[in-house]
Structure 1
Amino acid sequence: MGGTTDYEEPTFLRGMSKVVSTFTAPARYFRENIVEPNRKQDAVWYHRTFRRVPTIDECYTDDYICRHEADEQFKRDRLVDQNICNILKNRFTECLRSEHPDIGNCDKIKEDWQLAETNYFSKYGEIGVRGTVIDAFMRQKHRMAWERRHGPIGTGMKESV
Structure 2
Amino acid sequence: MVQGGGEPDDNLIRSFASAMYNTIDAPVTWFREKVVEPNQKKYPWYHQQFRRVPTIDQCYSDDVVCDFEANTQFKRDRAVDSEILNILRMRFEDCMIYEKPDHEVKCKPLWEKYKDAEEAWFIKYGDLGAYGDARKAYMKQKHRMIWERRHGPLSEQTK
TM-score scaled by length of structure 1: 0.72
From the superposition, tell whether residues 40 and 79 of structure 1 become closer, same or farther in structure 2 (CA, over 3 Å): closer
How many residues align? The count is 143
What is aligned with 2:76?
76
Q: 1:75 to 1:40 in 2, by over 3 A?
A: closer
Question: In the alignment, does 2:126 pair up with 1:125?
Answer: yes
Deviation per residue, 1:26-53 (Å, 9 max, x gap): 7666656655555555x22334432211
Report how far residue 89 of structure 1 moved.
0.5
Report matched runs for 1:54-93 at 5 Å.
54-93=54-93
Q: Residue 120 of structure 1 aligns to which amino acid in structure 2?
A: W
Q: Distance in 1 between matches of 2:37 and 2:77?
A: 32
In structure 1, runs of 5+ residues without a counterpart are: 1-19, 156-161
Identical columns (%):
53
Between the aligned partners of 1:21 and 1:110, the Cα distance in structure 2 is 59
Q: Deviations over 1:102-138 (max 9, x none)?
A: 2111112111111110000000111101011111000
Partner of 1:91: helix, strand, or coil? helix
Distance 2:30 2:93 in 1: 46
Query: 5 Å matches for 1:107-122?
Result: 107-122=108-123
Could you say if the C-alpha distance between residues 106 and 31 of structure 1 is closer, same or farther in structure 2, counting changes exceeding 3 Å?
A: farther
Residue in 2 that maps onto 1:141? 142
Q: What is the CA–CA distance in structure 1 between the aligned matches of 2:126 and 2:132, rounded to whole Å?
A: 10
